[in-house]
Structure 1
Amino acid sequence: MKISELAQRLDVSPHTLRYYEKIGLIRDVDRAGGRRVYTENALNWMRFILRLKQTGMPLKKIQRYSDLRHKGDSTLSERKAMLLSHRQDLEENINQLQSHLVALDQKIEIYETLEKEYDALRAGIEKT
């Protein structure tokens, strides 16, 4: 598929794909008539890169992971360790976000109680 097709399927710009190729995240891009041609493997790899990015992994770490992947099976343990570490970071972020959500829910409950009390007070004043 052409760069425009890949960009559309991934919802990124062609510029992003060219940049990722330039920094080594996308390798072994075929050329046909001077144009980039991407395979389904490239599509799947880019989906994974974007998922890592969306989960907060810094681009430098993604580059490191990509370099290790390119070196082959001798780096399996190191790649796994990187993903386990990132997973732990995500779990910590999720726990922190859940804590924030609980605090927000508690504050919302306070406002709902205050609104009911205010409405009841107003209704009482209007009756008199």
Structure 2
Amino acid sequence: MLRSGDVACWLLKASGRPAELPAGPGAGPVVLRRCLRRSYRLGLLSAGQPCVLWVSGRLDPGVAALGRIASEVGQEAGGPVVDVELTALAAVVARAALVADPRFAAAEVVRMPAGSNPSYLRPEQWEAVRELFPAT
């Protein structure tokens, strides 16, 4: 079972780049609402924690934005949700580059790509991502 000390950064997935997330230099942060799966992990998630947006699919998979959890977990008709404040990166931190790093290779998003939100990064995995951040 995951514990709060295991989580250095939350990883929220999208099946493509959200239209509301502007790309390019100088684009400021935006707040997006993301759907979550009911699980014990929701009790570990709180406002202010770092998070990244992982875009899956064929076109530029990897970390597309970074930011923070901007709200406590809420409820909508479809289930739990959370607001995240994200800033798009100038370029995606590519999945291939991350998987090539032994610190990141065992990340949950690699082991279980079809897993649900929220996923997470351990401290060494978060460090691997941060080292590859392009200028924002």
- Assess same fold via TM > 0.5: no
In terms of fraction of residues, the more helix-rich structure is 1
TM-score by length of 1: 0.26
Q: Larger radius of gyration, structure 1 or 2?
A: 1
TM-score by length of 2: 0.25
